[in-house]
Structure 1
Amino acid sequence: MTKELEHNFVELLEKHQNIVHKICRLYTNNQDAHNDLFQEITIQLWKAYPKFRGESKFSTWMYRVALNTAITLYRKSKRSIKTQDFDSVLFRIKAEEYDDTTEKQLSVMYAALHELNDIDKALVFLYLEDKNYNEISDTLGISEVNARVKMNRIKKKLRSILNP
């Protein structure tokens, strides 16, 4: 690969890295797992970058690669033994000590999102990123109608999780 290609990739990754961080936050429970997933997504983006044809925006392509990588790793991790994450225990203790409403609300939201399946998480993530249904359907490879129907079902499910 040429230096110019490498330079362009690094520049685009730096510009859009928040996309990857948000996806990592959605699919991981601690900083180590977040860092590992960020690294894996970066590797997959780098491997796929020479094939990026520019037919869509870089950010749309990045969403697709990052979500596919996260979903693949998430599915593999579901086959492993479940353990209690030490960081999340400390986080809960800290949240009870400090009256940080925003932190608690985010924690509740992420807990609810973690109950969704991997595709539904991706759909909610793109929706919260203010992507229109056309962009969501392109990124996830589903029809626009399917994206709308799924989103309505997810909203109902999240309401039932948050308001039992």
Structure 2
Amino acid sequence: MAVSVASASFVAHINAHQPLLLRICRMYCAAAGDQQDLYQEIVLQLWRAYPRYEARAKFSTWLYRIALNVAISDLRQRTRKPAPERFGPALPDVAALPDSGPNADDLAQLYRAIARLSDVEKAFVLLYLEERTYEEMADILGITQNNVRVKMHRVQDKLRHFLTQLA
């Protein structure tokens, strides 16, 4: 069976942006299984929307917008209907298992602080950590650059407060 040009193009885009998608999944889900489920749901929604993608915006901007919307919707759905208790040992908290290295404790503390943020605030942090400009953030989130500046300042203050509490 031949693979269409659109399919090949989509797969190439997803492969190129896979680290970004995985970071979004880690930001919104603690358990590895939930991260995998969210990743699959994001890719499915991207595939469904791909025929309507127009190159007016950068692909990464389009991808961010869809991925963040799916992640936030998924989180809201999971918090409305908690998963039933599972048998066996509990899955480890991914945020509590940072990469090894000299800053592992700092990274774990940062993830714990980020976990306390709202869905939308997490999106701001993710975009900031991805070194997106305020202009790109505004495009992705559908708000003005001025609003991005204000919200980023508030999120940074909130994170500082959480980090001092955790210290």
Task: Give the TM-score normalised by the residue count of structure 1.
Answer: 0.88
Provide the C-alpha distance between the structure 2 equivalents of 1:125 and 1:90, rounded to a whole number of angstroms.
Answer: 16
AA in 2 matched with 1:88: P
* Cα separation, 1, equivalents of 2:70 and 2:108: 24
1:53-86 Cα offsets, whole Å, 9 max, x none, are 1111111111111001000001111113387992
Cα separation, partners in 2 of 1:133 and 1:89, compared to 1, 3 Å: closer
- Residues 90 and 62 of structure 1: CA distance in aligned 2, closer, same or farther (over 3 Å): closer
Q: Which residue does the alignment assign to 1:88?
A: 92
Higher helix share: 1
- Offset of residue 30 of structure 1: 1.4
Aligned partners of 2:78 and 2:142: how far apart in 1?
A: 23
- Uncovered stretches (5+) of structure 1, i.e. residues with no partner: none
Paired-residue identity, %:
38
Structure 2 gap segments, 5+ residues each? none
Distance 2:101 2:13 in 1: 34
- Counting only pairs closer than 5 Å after superposition, residues 5-84 of structure 1 correspond to structure 2 as 5-81=6-82
Cα-Cα RMSD: 2.4
The CA distance in 2 between the partners of 1:127 and 1:100, in whole Å, is 23
Letter aligned with residue 145 of structure 2 = E
Deviations 1:73-105 (A, max 9, x none): 01111113387992226985x88xxx8543322
The whole-number CA distance in structure 1 between the counterparts of 2:79 and 2:123 is 17
Count of matched residue positions in the alignment of Structure 1 and Structure 2: 159
Distance across 1 between alignment mates of 2:135 and 2:8:
31
1:2-22 CA distances to partner (integer Å, 9 max, x unpaired)? 701001000111111111001
SS in 1 for 2:17: helix
